Amino acid sequence: MTATGRAAPLSPDRRRTALIDSTLPLLREYGDAVTTRQIAHACGIAEGTIFRVFPDKESLIAAALGRALDPTDMIAEIAGIDPTLPLEPRLRATAAILHDRLTGVFALLGAMRLNSAPGHSAGHSPPNSPGHSSGQRPNSACHTDHRARQAEIIEAVTDVLRPDEHLLRRSPTEVAQLLRALIFSGAHPLISAEAPLTSDEIVTILLDGVRRPGGSDDETDGNGRC
């Protein structure tokens, strides 16, 4: 507390964090049509305070999207899965984490497109993501950062699979890539809008395939049906 009895002002870094925390749910509701007045009200500050730590609304939105797309927390959550669990429950826990994050990201980006302010493009590419172009970070550097982050995700999933490598017909890295591809397509609203796949369904397909146990090509009829 200050001598006047008011709460001490936040440091610039903490203020930026608080603003990003307040902006993300508003982006899911209003897209980039959200106003700085709405953001300030949600954060409990005067509107002008925003511009002490962000030069404009667009930079705040880009920072919020960057937070939403940053996989650091998700990678830590995957790393925290109990390694003593059997393969299938470990993989289901991993898939659930990946699925929850991707569905959240798709919902946010969908809201940004649907609620884009008139006269603005529908996308604010966040820092460290493909498509973000500012004078400070060339696109090639952003693509490099994006690929590096994706590689970190694959490595985290690979670590989950590695103790049971002897049970897999493909390498742990290949299985991690397959899992991510299935979750991406199963959760993407434009790919699986009519029949989205749950994380459990994806793991079942990945581990067991779609052929019935004991099924073989010899048991199909002339049209390839069992």
DSSP 109-159: HHHHHHTPPTTS-S--PPTTSTT---SSS-HHHHHHHHHHHHHHHHHHHHH
pLDDT at 193: 74
Reported CATH class of domain 70-117+125-211: mainly alpha
Question: Rounded distance, CA 149 to CA 155, Å?
Answer: 10
| Residues of the chain below pLDDT 70 | 1-8, 116-143, 215-226
pLDDT at 192: 79
- Domain coordinates in residue numbering, the chain: 10-68, 70-117+125-211
- 10-68: CATH architecture: Orthogonal Bundle (1.10)
> Are the C-beta atoms of 130 and 65 separated by less than 8 Å?
no
pLDDT at 226: 42
Question: Rounded distance, CA 128 to CA 125, Å?
Answer: 9
pLDDT at 136: 46
Rounded alpha-carbon distances, angstroms, from residue 40 to 9, 27, 182, 184: 15, 13, 39, 34
pTM greater than 0.85: no
Q: Do domains 10-68 and 70-117+125-211 have the same CATH topology?
A: no
> Are the C-beta atoms of 131 and 143 separated by less than 8 Å?
no
